[in-house]
Chains A and B, each alone.
Chain A
Amino acid sequence: MMSAPSHLIIAPILIPLLAGALLLFFEDRERRLKDAVSILTSAALVVVAAVLLFRTGADGGRIFVYLLGNWPSPIAINLVLDRLSAMMLLLTAVLALPALVFSIARWQRAGAHFHSLFLFLLVGLNGAFLTGDLFNLFVFFEVLLAASYGLMLHGSGQLRVRAGMHYIVINLAASLLFLIGVAMIYSVTGTLNMAHLAIVLQGLEGESRFMAEAGAGILGIAFLVKAGSWPLNFWLPTAYSAAAAPVAAIFAILTKVGVYVLLRFSLLLFGSEAASTGFGEQALFFVGMATILFGAIGILASQALGRLAGYSVLVSSGTLLAAVGFAQTGVTAGALFYLISSTLTLSAFFMLIELIARGQDPAADVLAVTMEAYGEGEEEKEEAEEVGVTIPETLAVLGVSFAACGILLAGLPPLSGFVAKFAMLTSMFNPDGVGEGVIRHSSWWLASFLILSGFATLIAMTRAGISAFWARIDGEVPRVLLVEMAPVAALLAMTVFLTIGAGPVMRFLEAAAADLHSPQAYIQSVMEAVQAVPHAREVLP
């Protein structure tokens, strides 16, 4: 008998979907209500994701399969929850909550339906992490992209509309590539279920295999666009720096969706025991390295903080892509740690930038203009004071947070950015335990790129920090509210906890990486998933 908690797997999709739809019935003027509902929703998501994470980690790791519509496997469209997807769900929820709290202060007022769009974005993200079906992955991608188009334009203004237009065109074109890839794979395998696909692919010969590999390659390009890999990423820094701060904060995880899918696919379909072993690994590795290089140069060349953060996103996804292409269990585990750490940091950094730039940047004027356009300009002053108290010693708090972001992004001790890079480097140079195994040629390259990109980040962050905090000519202190500072502090505190709890977290991630590298358990659980017995039939003998 299926117990009720097994339905919890679909909760991360349903909760934000229902809440987001509900909020559409209320006018944007009911701000208190909308704030409350969406914050409660994301808090519920944190709880659900934590419970799911705990359950996947219990008794040596379990994989849960949820058959939608209760069709027999592998025909059923399924949701699959393993360690990796549970981790990504939790990360999404943990990013969403601070971004929503941050938006209370002013940003949600800069446009229509902010909360609904934000919650629909969460639907798409959670769905993409949970689904075990290729076409459903496409649908959830479109859900998250459609919501992200709306959020990208949130706050309007010429800059955002222009950057948003490029963002939309690129992603529409990538979606078409996605469809072509799916269609090609379906035409030779006759299945869209990812686990079933892994089995069918092993039996393919000759032209059919060639067709399937070509399809996978096209699919890979679509995901590389989402992941922001060079040379498909010129839109990214502009788009991310133009987006409103809380939006950019949640966008920090969008590139990681592409990386997540690539990681799962390349190891599930072309892992060590599949037939076309190692297909695309080298390409991923080189593309990742090129992305790191491009991002590092971009970081050094950026003038504005927003663009610096945009290029940091590129460095982060480049590192992850190269680590995926490296295809070694230990490195994958380290990369997952890096994924968590860098996403939290970037999210905090995007919000922090807006606070720092407030006193000195034309972006604040743009916001004021759009607020006027929405007819909220006059009451803005009193409202702002209602929301929270201004924190004293603003510059000191901002400065400390900025320094923490710099340390995290550059990967210096003592924070989690260092732990992540250290974990990756250690596994690279000790492939089979400490001092054992042959060190691959590519290890040296990846190691030097990791360290050099960290160094470039350090230089750029130091320079930006000096000009933002020590060399301010206008001497104006930005006015920062507690509700705006608290989310940044919370995200940074999480990286501190991540550093302190690095042992248990790393053990969990090593298990997740081991699951990924030997996907038999995943395939088996999906193929042998039992249908739920309908209640009516259950009572009969």
Chain B
Amino acid sequence: MELLLSLSMGALAGSGVWLLLRPRTYQVIMGLALLSYAVNIFIFSTGRLRVNAPPIVEKGMEVDPAAFTDPVPQALVLTAIVISFATTALFLVVLLASRGLTGTDHVDGREPEK
């Protein structure tokens, strides 16, 4: 499972960085989205990968911490997802505004001279 996760993170981050460096705004926003997926999976994995282990301890019971998974990264990743979702939406608006004002989807607002 570790191998699969690392490979998918690598693929997402690699494609994300490549797209981020492209000149079209749509490519940039896709790049940011892919990068944030990679980062989210990375945060999730910092709590160590466990199968069939719940993150929440039931109230009033004697518990063995080893039977539970770390809840903190899961909480962090939720926050990170919400924030990156919101900022992506905001960037989409700016992207459209820029397209409307300049008439091109180039990140510099004008086509490069041939």
User: Which of these, B36, B39, B90, B102, contacts A158 with CB under 8 Å?
Assistant: B102
Determine the chain B residues whose CB is within 8 A of the CB of A172 once the complex forms. 32, 84, 87, 91
CB distance from B93 to the nearest CB of A (A): 9
CB distance from A281 to the nearest CB of B (A): 27
Tell whether A146 pairs with B90 under 8 Å between CB atoms, given A162-B108, A173-B20. yes
Interface SS of chain B: helix, strand, loop or mixed?
A: helix
Tell me, in angstroms, the Cα distance from A135 to B90 when the chains sit together.
Answer: 22
Determine the chain A residues whose CB is within 8 A of the CB of B101 once the complex forms. 157-158, 161
Interface residue? A166 (CB, 8 A): yes
CB distance from A147 to the nearest CB of B (A): 11
Interface residue? A44 (CB, 8 A): no
User: Which of these, B28, B39, B43, B83, contacts A169 with CB under 8 Å?
Assistant: B28
Interface centre among B43, B94, B108, B109, by most chain A C-beta atoms within 10 angstroms, is B94
Determine the chain A residues whose CB is within 8 A of the CB of B83 once the complex forms. 139, 142, 175
Identify the closest chain A residue to B100 (Cβ): A161
Determine the chain B residues whose CB is within 8 A of the CB of A168 once the complex forms. 87, 90-91, 94
Contact mask for chain A residues 158-184; partner B; CB cutoff 8 A; 1 contact, 0 none: 100110111011001101100110111
Identify the closest chain B residue to A177 (Cβ): B39
Q: B76 touching A184 by the CB < 8 A rule?
A: no
User: Which of these, B36, B70, B86, contacts A176 with CB under 8 Å?
Assistant: B36
User: Which of these, A156, A161, A184, A192, contacts B72 with CB under 8 Å?
Assistant: A192
Tell me, in angstroms, the Cα distance from A182 to B72 when the chains sit together.
Answer: 12
- Interface band, chain A: 20 to 34
Interface residue? B79 (CB, 8 A): yes
Mark out the residues of chain B between 77 and 97 whose CB falls within 8 Å of any chain A CB in the assembled complex.
79-80, 83-84, 86-87, 90-91, 94-95, 97
Interface centre among A149, A166, A173, A182, by most chain B C-beta atoms within 10 angstroms, is A173
Q: B94 touching A165 by the CB < 8 A rule?
A: yes
Determine the chain A residues whose CB is within 8 A of the CB of B91 once the complex forms. 165, 168-169, 172
Determine the chain A residues whose CB is within 8 A of the CB of B30 once the complex forms. none
Determine the chain B residues whose CB is within 8 A of the CB of A179 once the complex forms. 39, 42-43, 80
User: Which of these, A142, A153, A165, contacts B25 with CB under 8 Å?
Assistant: A165
Tell me, in angstroms, the Cα distance from A153 to B97 when the chains sit together.
Answer: 10
Identify the closest chain B residue to A149 (Cβ): B90
Tell me, in angstroms, the Cα distance from A184 to B20 when the chains sit together.
Answer: 23
Tell whether A173 pairs with B95 under 8 Å between CB atoms, given A142-B83, A161-B101, A186-B46. no
The 10 A-B residue pairs whose C-beta atoms are closest, nearest first, are A187-B46, A183-B43, A162-B109, A183-B46, A158-B101, A161-B98, A142-B83, A179-B39, A176-B39, A161-B97
